[in-house]
Structures are given as structure tokens and as C-alpha cells.
Amino acid sequence: MAAIAGPRLWPVLIPAAVLALGLGGLPLTGGMLVKLAVKAHFGDGVVGVLATLSAAGSTLLMIQFWRRLVQTSPRKAEAAPPLAGFIWPWLIMAFAGVIVPWTLYLTERIPEGDIVVVGEAATGATAPCGETIERVDGYLRQWPVASLSLLTVVIILGAAMLAWG
């Protein structure tokens, strides 16, 4: 590799590698759970082979992404310490990317082939939001509001063109 990442960047690069390999089904990741859940339904035919090739292709693509991440990271001499305000959110999200699928898998049991149960729960939870969105949409469709909104967008875009043109 052209550049070796400084030791300060490994807390960023190692979780990126785990998440990248997780897409291909690395054990103890969400990718493995997905493979377990759907592989039996695909069978050994063409669809099963295509799913396997897709997982392998995703893995290779993410390995290439990780390699590019390592290659473009600053060398030891020029590396500034990463700010904790950037590292901790990344580590928390990477950890959640591994833990959340397992938490959902272990706590939520859906009868085989009954995805409707999840859909009904989601519909019930989003119904109040839908009514609010419909009211806002109805208000915005009124001619005076729509024309004022369009005029505002035109003025903003015109000002942006003049400022950066």
C-alpha cells in the first residue's frame, strides 16, 4: 500500500473494516444474520448462486473501499490526532451497526413468512404523522402559498447565482 495509516487512525479504520466485511456475512455481524434469514429461501438454484455472488461482490467492493481509506489517510508524520468529537460518534455508530441487528434479532420474533405483522405495527405508529403531513400538503397546495413558495425559491436561487457566479 502506498501509505500506512498512523496509529491514531486505527480506531476509525478497524470498525470500518468490520462493517465492510459485515456486508459479506462476517460472523457476529448483521450481514451474517441476513444471510441466515434469507439463504434458506433462495435455495440452491440460480437465485442462491446470484445471492452468493452478490455477497462476494459486496465484500470485494467494501474491501477496496477500506484499502482506499487506508491509502488516502495521512502518513504518521503528517497525521494530526483525530478529534474526539469525530471519533466517538463514529465508534458509537459502528458499535450500533453490529449490536442493533443482534438486538432486533434476539428480541423480535416474527412468525415465518408473516412480515405483515411488522407492517401493521409500522402503519399504526406512523398514522398520526401521515395525518399531519396531509394537512400540511393540503395547505401548501393552495395557490397563494404555492406561488409564494415558488417565488421564494426563485429569489434564493437567483441570489445564489449572483453571489457565486
Mean pLDDT of 144-157: 81
E strands, the chain, where? Answer: none
Which of 150, 30, 27 has its CA nearest to residue 94? 30
Instruction: Give the model's pLDDT for residue 111.
Output: 63
- pLDDT at 2 (0 to 100): 41
pLDDT at 77: 56
Among the residue ranges 3-7, 27-31, 114-118, the one predicted with the least confidence is 3-7
Q: Is a pLDDT exceeding 60 seen at residue 3?
A: no
pLDDT of res. 62:
84
- What is the pLDDT averaged over residues 32-41? 77
Alpha carbon distance 76, 7 (integer Å): 7
Name the residue with cell 406561488. Answer: 147
More reliable by pLDDT, 35 or 116: 35
pLDDT, the chain, mean: 76
* pLDDT value at 18 more than 70: yes
Mean local confidence (pLDDT), 4-31: 76
Of all residues in the chain, the percent with pLDDT exceeding 70 is: 78
pLDDT in tens, 70-122: 888 776 656 566 666 777 888 888 888 888 887 777 776 666 656 666 667 77
User: Alpha-carbon distance 104 to 107, whole Å?
Assistant: 5
- pLDDT for residue 165: 59
* Confidence band for 139, pLDDT divided at 50, 70 and 90: confident
Compute the average pLDDT of residues 53-66.
85
C-alpha 110/C-alpha 117 separation (Å) is 7
**Per-domain boundaries in the chain:** 1-110, 132-165
